[in-house]
């Protein structure tokens, strides 16, 4: 008899909080990011590309949920808006 596959959720993660997280304030351009990256932005008050441009790249790269792929996507979003990370 096979076991039913369980969805992997980190142990230190609150399943209910993740399931009920409000992404509605996040700019539509950020919706291409994985959910952990989206939560990292929202939890740090970053809702629009202009909010993101007010942060330094090293600040963003240290956020839990932001990886190499998310950073590349965020940089592309800023370039499309003719913005850049704070120096």
Q: Where are the domains of the chain?
A: 47-87
CA distances in angstroms from 32 to 77, 85, 87, listed in the order given: 10, 19, 25
Biggest distance spanned by C-alpha atoms of the chain: 58
Q: How many CB atoms lie within 10 A of CB 60?
A: 21
* pLDDT (tens digit per residue) in 13-61: 677 777 788 899 999 999 999 999 999 999 999 999 999 999 999 999 9
**Token match 């596959």: residue?**
5
**Token match 């996040």: residue?**
26
* pLDDT (tens digit per residue) in 2-23: 555 555 555 556 777 777 888 9
Q: Which fold has domain 47-87?
A: DNA polymerase; domain 1 (1.10.150)
């Amino acid at each position: 008899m096979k076991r039913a596959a369980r969805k992997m959720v980190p142990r230190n993660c609150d399943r209910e909080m993740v399931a009920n997280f409000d992404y509605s304030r996040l700019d539509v351009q950020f919706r291409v990011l994985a959910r952990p990256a989206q939560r990292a932005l929202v939890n740090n008050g970053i809702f629009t590309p202009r909010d993101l441009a007010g942060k330094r790249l090293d600040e963003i790269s240290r956020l839990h949920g932001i990886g190499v792929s998310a950073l590349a996507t965020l940089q592309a979003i800023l370039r499309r808006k003719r913005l850049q990370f704070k120096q």
